[in-house]
Amino acid sequence: MEFDPTQPKWVQIVDVIRRRIATGEYAAHHLISEAQLQQEFGVARVTVRKVTAALRAEGLIVTTPGMGSFVAKR
């Protein structure tokens, strides 16, 4: 993915994940792996943490300590 230099990377990644959830590519209970996102988008762990925090704030994902982050039921 090529990033738009006028927007923060984490915002652009949130948009991608939001689209994947909306289209059903990521169904309910799909694991949102921080390590996988870090590798896929080539960003630092702190960037991925901003992504998951934003998705959690929107109610799109739920994080369970010790288990991970999953797409929330609609």
List the beta strands (DSSP E) in the chain.
31-32, 61-64, 68-71
- Assigned token pair, 4: 């738009």
DSSP state of 2: P
Q: What per-residue confidence (pLDDT) applies to 1? A: 87
Question: Starting at the edge strand that comes first in sequence, how are the strands of the sheet with 68-71 ordered?
Answer: 31-32, 68-71, 61-64
Locate 71 and state its tokens: 């797409």
pTM > 0.75: yes or no: yes
pLDDT for 1-52, tens place per residue? 899 999 999 999 999 999 999 999 999 999 999 999 999 999 999 999 999 9
Exposed e or buried b per residue across 11-37, where buried means at least 16 C-beta atoms within 10 angstroms of its C-beta? ebbbeebeeebeeeebeeeeebeeeeb
